[in-house]
Amino acid sequence: MNMIEAINSAMDVMLGRDDKMVVMGEDVGFFGGVFRATAGLQKKHGKTRVFDTPINECGIIGVAVGMGAYGLRPVPEIQFADYIYPGLDQLVSEAARLRYRSAGDFICPMTVRTPFGGGIFGGQTHSQSPESIMTHICGVKTVIPSNPYDAKGLLIAAIEDNDPVVFLEPKRIYNGPFSGYYDRPVEPWSKHEASAVPEDYYCIELGKAATVRAGEALTILAYGTMVHVTKTIVEEMGVDAEIIDLRTLLPLDIDAIETSVKKTGRCLIIHEATRTSGFGAELAALVQERCFYHLEAPVERVTGFDTPYPHSLEWAYFPGPVRIATALTKILKD
Partner 1 sequence: MTETPGRPASNLPPLSLHIPEPRYRPGDTPDFGDIAIPAVDATPRPGEATKPDAMRDLCYGLVRVLDFDGQAKGPWDPKLTPDRLRAMLRYMMLVRAFDDRMFRAQRQGKTSFYMKSTGEEATSVASTMAIDRSDMCFPSYRQQGILIVRDYPLIQMMNQIYSNRGDHLLGRQLPIMYSAPEHGFFSISGNLATQYPQAVGWAMASASKGDNRIATVWCGEGSSAEGDFHSALTFATVYNAPVIFNVVNNQWAISSFSGFAGGERTTFAARAVGYGIAGLRVDGNDPLAVYAATQWAADRARTNNGPTLIEHFTYRAEGHSTSDDPSAYRAADEATAWPFGDPIARLAQHLETLGEWDGERQEALRKELDDLVKTTQKQSEKLGILGHGMHQPFETMFQDVFEEMPWHLKEQSKQMLAEQEAKFGPNWKPE
**Residues catalogued as catalytic:** 126
Regarding 86 and contact with partner 1 (CB under 8 A), the answer is: yes
Closest CA to 169 of 211, 225, 209: 225
Regarding 67 and contact with partner 1 (CB under 8 A), the answer is: yes
Shortest distance (Å) from residue 24 CB to partner 1: 9
Amino acid present at 53: T
Q: Which of 30, 100, 121, 202 binds partner 1 (CB under 8 A)?
A: 100
Taking CB under 8 A as the criterion, which residues in 249-278 touch partner 1? 250-252, 254
| Residue pair 295/279 in contact by the 8 Å Cβ criterion | no
Taking CB under 8 A as the criterion, which residues in 2-41 touch partner 1? 22
Closest CA to 279 of 256, 248, 309: 248
Regarding 70 and contact with partner 1 (CB under 8 A), the answer is: yes
Q: How far is CA 39 from CA 8, 27, 33, 35, 160, in A?
A: 7, 10, 7, 9, 21
d(CA 174, CA 310): 21
Residue 274 is classified by DSSP as E
Regarding 310 and contact with partner 1 (CB under 8 A), the answer is: no
Regarding 71 and contact with partner 1 (CB under 8 A), the answer is: yes
Q: Which of 94, 150, 160, 300 binds partner 1 (CB under 8 A)?
A: 94
Regarding 292 and contact with partner 1 (CB under 8 A), the answer is: no
d(CA 91, CA 85): 9
Q: Which of 62, 119, 148, 177 binds partner 1 (CB under 8 A)?
A: 62
d(CA 205, CA 203): 6
Binding interface with partner 1 (CB under 8 A): 22, 48, 53-54, 56, 58-59, 61-72, 74, 86, 89-90, 93-94, 97-107, 138-139, 141, 161-163, 207, 250-252, 254
